[in-house]
Structure 1
Amino acid sequence: MSKQNAGLVAVIGFLVLALSVLGTLRRQPDRLTTCNGSEMNALLAADLRILIPQHRDALLNDLASPIAGNPQGDVPLVSFLDYNCPLCKEMDLILQQALKHDSNLRIVRKQLPVLGPASEFAARAALASHKQGKYEAFNRALFAFPGLVNQRTTLVIAARVGLDVEQLKRDMEGPAITEAIARDRALANELYITGTPALVVGDEVIAGVVETAGLRSCIADVRANAKVQSSTAAKSAL
């Protein structure tokens, strides 16, 4: 084959490939609707379906991340919240209700203090409270506070829930707390999470508040997909 003919074949091949890709993109929706009714770019959603499994261990098995609900639950849900985020206060109430009605739900708590030093202080205190076995009580009290928490109110709330405040202050300044928050921030960045509240449910990132019905739908989808995968794996093993 002459160089001219070879070049022509290469050009034709490139055009065929380009038209094929263009046709595929046209068939795919530009936007997808998540289970809280918000929209997500379809390409971003596809990217997350690859990224989330790659970061599953960091999402679910970081020993510094407190666990709420059933530690052996069949549906893990990862929350990224900020104690001074008004929508996070709303989201936490919904999560608390979900825990009451679903005994197989496992919530992994990540810290994402995006609203300044006061949020950072509260996040550090919350992680430090985990060492005293009072994270959930402290977490609920911080979110229930009517207004913004600062350093003083954070410590007052800590005392009210029975924490040893002096021990808390020592623990929250330790390198382990700094490293845990840094890991949570890096993980959020890897998953394109830039604000709060955000949840990771299955292979989906949900930004913003998820109403109770939407959250239940998400959880049901994760369970259904898990059953399908388990059934497929069982058939493959035969």
Structure 2
Amino acid sequence: MIYGLRALPWDRLGGRGLSYVDIEGVPPFRRLELPGQTSTANIALVGLDGPLPEAGARRARMETLRTDPCPALFGNSASNSEVPIAYFSEFRCPFCRALERDLESLLAEDPATFRLVQHELPIFGPPSELAARASVAAARQGKQQELRRRFMRTPMVAEEASVRRVAESLDLDVEQLLIDMSSAGVQAELDRTRALADLFGFIGTPGLVIGRTVLSGAVPLSLLRQIAEEEKAEPFPVC
């Protein structure tokens, strides 16, 4: 099975100060400056984004967000006392599962400071797309994270029947969930997430934007804490 990004050797950073490089054209965002350390996308991912005629529309969506990505990235509930964390994930990505446990730990340590915003970035074909649509639709009923956690424990969510079984076990309004999954609103949200991923250079999952800092690939909890502490020291709000 293919999984997109490899885990990076972040553990080599232990005890070192972090340096950043500004992301050109997208202030105030920055990414870690790590010469020689890169994420590697599997060549099998090439071509999964649809036919070429869609490329123009996809680029246009990205450029529309460039001048003010924050509402799409972090939502409209920005606060002067919290660090927002945008998390880009894919249900079939094993690195995402490990990272989510660390994110839960980080949020539990300081829930008043951090706020997680979920972004579904399906990159492995129809099963991933189906699960992502169900996740976004479940958010409309206030049960996105419950459904996501159940999906993570389900061997394969590949057809409507499996989505229905999980939704019923969580007491979701199943028929409304299925309607929302096919709605223009859910499609628009997935399109915005893809545009954000293009803007910030996420070619796979997981991806993170912690306040002003952009990270591609899996990172250990120690590095999450280090970046989070630096972001807490930055002026609020992010943008």
Which of the numbers 86, 90, 93 marks the counterpart of 1:78?
Answer: 86
Partner residue of 1:111? 120
Paired residues in the alignment total 184
Q: Output the amino acid matched with 2:227.
A: C
Partner residue of 2:97? 89
Structure with greater contact order relative to length (CA < 8 Å, sep ≥ 6): 2
For the residue of structure 1 that corresponds to 2:26, the secondary structure is helix
For the residue of structure 2 that corresponds to 1:78, the secondary structure is strand
For the residue of structure 2 that corresponds to 1:58, the secondary structure is helix
Aligned equivalents of 1:76, 1:35: Cα separation in 2:
25
Deviations 1:160-186 (CA, angstroms, capped at 9, x unpaired):
222122221111101000011001101
CA contact (8 A) 2:157 2:163 kept: yes
For the residue of structure 1 that corresponds to 2:136, the secondary structure is helix
- Pair 1:102 & 2:110 matched: yes
Deviates more, 1:45-54 or 1:162-171: 45-54
Compared with structure 1, are the counterparts of its residues 38 and 182 closer, same or farther at alpha carbon in structure 2 (3 Å cutoff)? farther
Aligned equivalents of 1:176, 1:38: Cα separation in 2:
42
Partner residue of 1:46? 21
Aligned equivalents of 1:71, 1:162: Cα separation in 2:
32
Partner residue of 2:157? 149
Q: TM-score, normalised by structure 2?
A: 0.68
Which of the numbers 159, 172, 189 marks the counterpart of 2:198?
Answer: 189
Alignment of 1:1-238 (within 5 A): 36-37=10-11, 46-48=21-23, 50-51=25-26, 53=28, 54=67, 55-61=69-75, 74-103=82-111, 104-145=113-154, 147-151=155-159, 152-226=161-235
Aligned equivalents of 1:180, 1:206: Cα separation in 2:
21
CA contact (8 A) 1:81 1:198 kept: yes
What CA RMSD, in Å, does the superposition of the two structures yield over aligned residues?
Answer: 2.9
Point out the structure with the larger helix share.
Answer: 1
CA contact (8 A) 2:86 2:119 kept: yes
Compared with structure 1, are the counterparts of its residues 203 and 35 closer, same or farther at alpha carbon in structure 2 (3 Å cutoff)? farther
Deviations 1:70-110 (CA, angstroms, capped at 9, x unpaired):
97751111100011111111111211222221112101111
Q: TM-score, normalised by structure 1?
A: 0.68
For the residue of structure 1 that corresponds to 2:235, the secondary structure is helix
Compared with structure 1, are the counterparts of its residues 71 and 95 closer, same or farther at alpha carbon in structure 2 (3 Å cutoff)? farther
Partner residue of 2:46? none
Aligned equivalents of 1:178, 1:58: Cα separation in 2:
14
Unpaired stretches in structure 2, ≥5 consecutive residues? 1-7, 14-19, 29-66
The structural deviation recorded for 1:148 is: 3.7
Compared with structure 1, are the counterparts of its residues 35 and 47 closer, same or farther at alpha carbon in structure 2 (3 Å cutoff)? farther
Deviations 1:208-235 (CA, angstroms, capped at 9, x unpaired):
11211111111001012238x99xxxxx
Larger radius of gyration: 1
Deviations 1:25-64 (CA, angstroms, capped at 9, x unpaired):
xxxxxxxxx994589xxxxx6352642534223211269x
